[in-house]
Amino acid sequence: MKIVVGLGNPGSQYAKTRHNAGWMVLDKIADRAGWSGRGRTRDASSVVQGRFRGLDLILVKPLTFMNDSGLAVRKVLAREHAPLVDLLVVADDFALPFGKLRFREGGSGGGHNGLGSIIDELSNEGFSRLRIGIGDPEHRAIDHVLSAFTPDEQARMDELLEAAADGVEAWARDGTSKAANRFNSFLLRPADAERQAAPGEIDGPPGVDGVRRTKTGWRKPRPIDPNGESGE
């Protein structure tokens, strides 16, 4: 059984804010699995579990508010008697550009209060996390993480959440290292949707497998040459 914890804040006023990116990823996975609306409250969390595409998953959304996320995570791990290797925490990160994905095995909370709370409660940094880039704050960090995404960002959110959900599935199947190799290089399409399609689509940038699709087929981009140019 793999446990995926998405960090966020309960309440409709926070539902679409940057700080709830972790919840959004879990909602995307629940939609794929047909689990939407089936969550039940236990251990200070909204929890849903089942078997999806051959994976036994528990999706956990702490209801403690971000700064006390560790309380809920500790309770879930205790109930399931789960080792840390079976835990993935999905969280927003303003140190990453909007749309960037970053898997990591262990490490500090990096200033994220939710991750910090989990580390404090478990007295251990040795759990995997998937960070979702929400962009650098122009002013106060607290104002940024509790703000809504811009229209340009909202137009690309579904694509980002789909990629993050794919990443979570890859983690559950193959572990953090292999998921990082695939998804840490993910590139979200530019804001100008008319100029370029989504990754993996015709005339879009390369997908997570490094392959770009054109009207004449799939192509693997060639390495950059000494003159700084690349080709296909």
For the chain, the distance separating the N- and C-terminal CA atoms, rounded to the nearest angstrom, is 42
Least confident of 68-72, 99-103, 154-158, 216-220: 216-220
Percent residues over pLDDT 70 in the chain: 84
DSSP 134-156: ----SS-HHHHHTSBPPHHHHHH
The 10s digit of each residue's pLDDT in 2-50 is 999 999 999 999 999 999 999 999 999 999 999 999 999 999 999 999 9
Q: What's the mean pLDDT in 140-152?
A: 91
- H or E element in which residue 203 lies: none
19 classed as catalytic: yes
Out of 159-173, 194-208, 212-226, the most confident range is 159-173
Q: What is the mean pLDDT of residues 88-117?
A: 95
Strand order of the sheet with strand 45-52?
A: 40-42, 45-52, 55-62, 2-6, 87-93, 128-133, 101-105
Where exactly are the structural domains of the chain? 2-187, 189-232
CA 133 to chain centre: 9
For the CA atoms of the chain, what is the radius of gyration? 18
How open is the CA angle 106-1-37, to the nearest 5 degrees?
Answer: 100
Residue 189: pLDDT above 60? yes
Q: Contacts by 35-43 with C-beta closer than 8 Å and gap 24+? A: 35/59, 42/79, 43/72, 43/75, 43/76, 43/79
Strand 40-42 with 45-52, pairing = antiparallel
**The listed CATH number (3.30.428.10, 3.60.20.10, 3.40.50.720, 3.40.50.1470) that belongs to domain 2-187:** 3.40.50.1470
Q: Is the pLDDT higher at 225 or at 158?
A: 158
Q: Tell me the three state secondary structure of residue 89.
A: strand
Q: How much is the average pLDDT of 110-133?
A: 96
- 211 pLDDT band, cuts 50/70/90, is confident
Q: Answer yes or no: is pLDDT of 199 > 70.
A: no
Tokens coding 169: 């599935």
Identified catalytic residue from 19, 81, 112, 139: 19
Tell me if residue 91 falls in helix, strand or coil: strand
The percent of the chain in helix, strand and coil, each rounded to the nearest 5, is: 35, 20, 40
Give the mean pLDDT of the chain. Answer: 88
Model confidence at 136, pLDDT cuts 50, 70, 90, reads confident
